[in-house]
Amino acid sequence: MGRRKLVVGNWKMNGMRAHLNEVEAIGKLAAAHPAVEVGLCLPATLIMAGSERRGAAFIGAQNCHMDMTGAYTGSLSAEMLAEAGASWVITGHSERREARGETNADIAAKSIAAKAAGLNVILCVGESLDVRDAGDAEAVVSAQLLASLPDGASADWLAVAYEPIWAIGTGRIPTMEAVATMHGALRAALATRIGGEADKVRILYGGSMNGANAAELLAIADVDGGLIGGASLTAAKFAPIVEAADGKLAVAA
């Protein structure tokens, strides 16, 4: 049996209580496609309320601190997020790495903290346009993954998301061949650390996936789902991606 597709919306700094109806609608969408694991990583202010209206979808967080307690004003621990209703958390998103200076070691520590709190982890990696244009993308991103990978990583609590930084929110995506090559390289890199377990780890694509390109991307052998930004803010835009993951939306000719 193949890896179950995982489709996760990342709302980033979007969403108010007035938008909880979309959370509820996406929960119903998840119920209609039980073959696909569907979730939403919400802003922290909506995690508790979202978890009460999530239906068949899971609720995740967008970041966590590496320590469980401490004098870290404005930060949230993985335990706090779990208590609020999160069951997953994103670590290493490019917007945290780039804007907040988070290092590979930071991401590994956050992932370990998340696991200790009972959260599943989506670990993000990706390259800049300069790296892509230099022809070093696979080597750089594979090295980033290995440096960010927490000890004890396994498929039962960890997924990886490949995000070409230059594609996020731009509508641009790599060629399908480039996506396939990168996902294959990441699986090979995982195998050097976790052996045969690497074949079970789900590797998501996370750069401007939408209803128009999802079926083609999700048909690639090592693409096991998507980490979706803007197209996850409404059930109407998210639905075609979930349908494609469930094999219900054909690849455009």
Helix (H) or strand (E) run with residue 120 in it:
strand 120-125
Residue 131 tokens, joined = 């790296």
Q: Virtual CA dihedral for 144, 149, 155, 158, nearest 10 degrees?
A: -90
Q: Is 65 a catalytic residue?
A: no
Q: Exposure of 175 by Cβ count < 10 A (0-12 exposed, 13-18 middle, 19+ buried)?
A: exposed
**Is 169 annotated as a binding-site member?**
yes
Q: Is 163 a catalytic residue?
A: yes
The catalytic residue among 33, 65, 93, 183 is 93
| Residue 106 backbone class (left: φ over 0; alpha: ψ -120 to 50; beta: rest) | alpha
Distance of alpha carbon 187 from alpha carbon 181, whole angstroms = 10
DSSP state of 56: T
**Is 10 annotated as a binding-site member?**
yes
- Tokens 């997020």 label which residue? 81
Distance of alpha carbon 229 from alpha carbon 188, whole angstroms = 27
| C-alpha pair distances (Å), 228 with each of 24, 107, 163, 223 | 17, 20, 10, 13
Q: Exposure of 178 by Cβ count < 10 A (0-12 exposed, 13-18 middle, 19+ buried)?
A: middle
**Is 110 annotated as a binding-site member?**
no
The catalytic residue among 138, 163, 183, 243 is 163
Distance of alpha carbon 161 from alpha carbon 123, whole angstroms = 6
**Is 12 annotated as a binding-site member?**
yes
The candidate with the shortest Cα–Cα distance to 6, out of 87, 96, 84, 106, is 87
Cite the annotated binding site by residue number.
10-12, 169, 208, 229-230
Cite the annotated binding site for substrate by residue number.
10-12, 169, 208, 229-230
Residues acting as catalytic residues: 93, 163
